[in-house]
A and B are shown apart, each in its own frame.
Chain A
């Protein structure tokens, strides 16, 4: 009991002491001047376009400044009554509008209001579609993105419903998606046939314009090639034409115009010749001049890195077996011909005739000329070819004639 009483006295002293210090310190602490403002406006959330007035309890008559910061920038407005009318362009912008109040170089209040996009307003649909062309077959896709905005160009809040529609041939589809991170989006995969895909979207009865995406055919399959020619003679004059069959992808779509087809020709000497053609209406054609000597060809076409054709085998017959060579008495004028073709007609102008000149078994010169009216004339001019014993070899259309021991004077 005694001990209890002691405790009570002790506790009493401690309490008194505590209160004493408390009072003492309250005397020391100066009562601050009226340095806080209170906000009378209670509304914290607004819609874009609303008139926003921030009303503060303030010492009247002294100009106070309010700093405003919104999504795109900041400004300062002033008031002497504490009633701040937020400028129109700040009221129209979605986002957090933060503000700081200052009076007599003291910061009195910091706060913010939230401005949401205007509901029940005219809606604009910003549409972004890409890529603008895709490949048939269902693997490739285009992305349809819609940013619905209110009348002040503010994106509508998350979870706004956007209806995506598209049409392709006789297919029409529609799906609702919800905006997130400002946008709603949908991937549209290609169909098996090529053609034009039409897209549109809708947000609460506002419809977008029509947009279109081209679906191009997929990669061409392997294909057949054909050749056509006037005759089979190696006259170096006629043209042989190569054609592909109608090129299609695996879904039976015609291959796009302009696809390049390369025809590779391998002759009997192993030399590669090349001719190219582009696809028009599914088919590509390419031409090649007949050889001017007996030859056989292997022809194959490629669309590089994608597909190839069968191999064609072609052979060309020689046009002549023999021809005349006249040498003048001084041995300096050599006349070849007439060169006669397969029907004994004169060979068309331009057939190549080659003269190889040997002296003492050494090739000293080669002359090449083309035929005119079935004939070719060579002149050995005195200054260049001294008198002596020569050997001439004449080669025309794959036939070679050797003339030995010709005395040139």
Chain B
């Protein structure tokens, strides 16, 4: 027994000694590592700065001819980058009323100007959230020693949201010209002088090729009137993740065959913002989207493509990231014959409370202009989640979309009211009933109820000749938490909206998928 105890003590002493040594060695090595990490030679030239792009307004160089010296491509890139950074850091400075980082991109004397304004603003609790949408640069002068450059930046579109004590005072969209004198100091191109100039030029709008158009209440595709009979589509196995790893064009083809055979002519699909690569759209994803659209076209189906799915940050400073996202997708598909409309965002009115209505609406408004600029050929709509919201931005969109999950008996009145208010084509973009009746959910609708619901709705639709897209083709086995949250009863409901059940069998409602 004593021997056993001695062994325990021996073991404890030895192991605690070893642990102690390990801790000491680790401490010494950490200290040495820390002492060795600083003052990396490359940091003097700030060559290895983290270059993740945070501010990407559209920049075009109009002209670099100047009397001083011809400019090198690399210097142009440097000037452009630092000039944009100057805008970015000053935007942040005016938003937070803090000067951090600003001194990298403004010389000491120029910084003084920003400093006084910020002092004044912060003393009165004014905060300005702003962004620039585009910059058109002309090089006026570049010095022989490559240390001084003067650029003119014309037609700069700026958005500014002015808050005082969190109350929105102004929401301003302005176009100006600027001239900047920049100096190369410590490897940064810094603004030395900045002068705002007058700008009275008109916006130039791109002309549509007329492939899709709206004349009063009617939609025309290729000069023929088009009545939307459609469905919101996700493949059964990959709901809310259509273009992910399990993407399978063959399954999608089969689904399109079925949709066409059911007498429908339109699908609505969703492009997730993050999964598509945010401001740097992944080429493979874009290829998949094009493949789906090609396939839809081959099946004589038109697509309403909903962008910015799962996007939720409408803050002014980050708008430009979404603009680049839209630019890459939309401009590469601007001549696609399978697209009927770009739906900018699904149910953005649900974000009003959390993100501020003015931010969301401002973002949508500018996004409409952005998309029109890159693709004037397709229609634009916004997928509002209810009838009340759908009048927002009705002048800006081409067709007005709304979703209807309320009581079917109120539909006639709601629709009539909307029809009076809006003189553009109205799209019933989502409607449906979940057949989620089960032992645990006795108040849920049965498949029979669902069939009756669709039958009734189709009757109303054909009476009033409403453009419609129902929700949705399939029942789903899994619904991601990001869609309706984690609550199981919500998820459960979302799984049973389909016309086809999870075993691939057509439900009773399938008979009423179209009229």
Contacts and interface: CB of A to CB of B under 8 A. Distances in A.
A65 interface: yes
Contact of B113 (A74, A93, A100, A102): A93
Interface residues of A, number: 40
B128 interface: yes
A143 B144 contact: yes
B143 A143 contact: yes
A73 B160 contact: no
A71 B195 contact: yes
Nearest to A134: B144
Interface in A133-147: 141-143, 145, 147
Given A102-B169, A181-B141, A72 B150 contact: no
B91 to A, nearest CB: 10
B126 A75 contact: yes
B185 to A, nearest CB: 11
Interface in B151-166: 152, 160, 162, 164
B193 A182 contact: yes
Contacts of A89: 113, 116-117, 120
A169 interface: no
A181 B193 contact: no
A100 B173 CA distance: 11
B90 interface: yes
Contacts of B176: 69, 96, 98
A182 B121 contact: no
A1 B441 CA distance: 89
Contact of B193 (A74, A98, A102, A147): A147
A144 to B, nearest CB: 10
Contacts of B196: 69-71, 95-98
B114 A155 contact: no
Interface in B43-85: 68
A131 interface: yes
A181 B179 contact: yes
Contacts of B144: 130-131, 141-143, 187
Interface residues of B, number: 45
Contacts, number: 122
A183 interface: yes
Contact of A145 (B117, B118, B124, B143): B143
B68 A185 contact: yes
Contacts of A76: 124, 126, 162, 164, 169-170
B194 interface: yes
Contacts of B121: 73, 75
B170 A183 contact: no
Contacts of A94: 195
Interface in A160-192: 181-183, 185, 187
B197 interface: yes
Contacts of A147: 181, 192-193
Nearest to B178: A71
Given A69-B174, A141-B144, A74 B162 contact: yes
Contacts of A114: 198
A145 B148 CA distance: 9
B193 A155 contact: yes
A96 B179 CA distance: 11
Given A67-B170, A102-B170, A153 B109 contact: yes
Given A65-B169, A93-B113, A126-B192, 16 more contacts: A69-B196, A71-B194, A72-B114, A74-B128, A74-B160, A75-B121, A75-B128, A76-B124, A89-B117, A96-B197, A98-B196, A147-B181, A153-B193, A154-B195, A155-B181, A182-B193
Interface of B: 68, 90, 94, 109-110, 113-114, 116-118, 120-121, 124, 126, 128, 130, 140-141, 143-148, 150, 152, 160, 162, 164, 169-170, 172, 174, 176, 178-179, 181, 183, 192-198
List 5 A-B pairs, minimum CB-CB distance, nearest first: A130-B145, A143-B144, A95-B196, A72-B113, A73-B117
5 contacts: A75-B126, A76-B126, A95-B196, A100-B170, A141-B144
